[in-house]
Amino acid sequence: MSLPPSEVERTARHLQLPGFGMENQIRLHEAHVLVVGAGGLGCPALQSLASAGVGRITIIDDDTISLSNIHRQILFGASDVGQPKVAVAAARLREVQPGIDVTTLPDRLTVANACELIGSVDLVLDGSDSFATKYLIADAAEITGTPLVWGTVLRFHGDVCLFDRSVGLRDLFPEQPRGTDLPDCATAGVLGVTTAVVGALMATEAITFLSGIGTGQAGRLLSYDALAGTTRSFQVSADPSRPRVRALASDYSGGTHALLDEVRAGSALLLDIREPEEWELTDPLALLHPLRLPLSTVTGPEQLTTMLVDAPRVVVYCASGARSARFCEHYADLGFDLVDLPGGVNGLARRA
- HEC secondary structure over 139-202: HHHHHHCCCEEEEEEEECEEEEEEEECCECHHHHCCCCCCHHHCCCHHHHCECHHHHHHHHHHH
Which amino acids are annotated catalytic? 185, 318
Residues composing the chain:
352
Q: Quick check: pTM over 0.75?
A: yes
> In angstroms, rounded to a whole number, what is the distance separating the alpha carbons of residues 133 and 162?
17
Pairing outcome for strands 220-225 and 230-235: antiparallel
> In angstroms, rounded to a whole number, what is the distance separating the alpha carbons of residues 171 and 6?
43
105 CB burial (10 A radius; 0-12, 13-18, 19+)? middle
297 secondary structure, DSSP code: G
> pLDDT tens digits for the chain (352 residues)?
889 999 999 999 999 999 999 999 999 999 999 999 999 999 999 999 999 999 999 999 999 999 989 999 999 999 999 999 999 999 999 999 999 999 999 999 999 999 999 999 999 999 998 888 999 999 999 999 999 999 999 899 999 999 999 999 999 999 887 654 555 444 567 888 999 999 999 999 999 999 999 777 899 999 999 999 999 999 999 999 999 999 999 888 777 878 898 999 999 999 999 999 888 877 889 889 999 999 999 999 999 999 898 888 999 999 878 899 999 999 999 989 999 998 788 777 443 3
Which has the closest alpha carbon to 201: 182, 226, 183, 236? 226
Helix (H) or strand (E) run with residue 259 in it: helix 256-265
> In angstroms, rounded to a whole number, what is the distance separating the alpha carbons of residues 215 and 54?
20
Task: Please work out, in degrees rounded to the nearest 5, the angle formed at the alpha carbon of residue 205 by the alpha carbons of 204 and 210.
Answer: 100
> In angstroms, rounded to a whole number, what is the distance separating the alpha carbons of residues 181 and 325?
10
At residue 105, the 3 state secondary structure works out as strand
Angstrom CA distances, 184 to 143, 208, 260, stand at 31, 34, 21
Contacts of 333 (CB under 8 A, 6+ apart): none
What's the confidence (pLDDT) of residue 351? 38
> In angstroms, rounded to a whole number, what is the distance separating the alpha carbons of residues 88 and 107?
15
* CB half-sphere exposure, 75, CA atoms < 13 A: 32
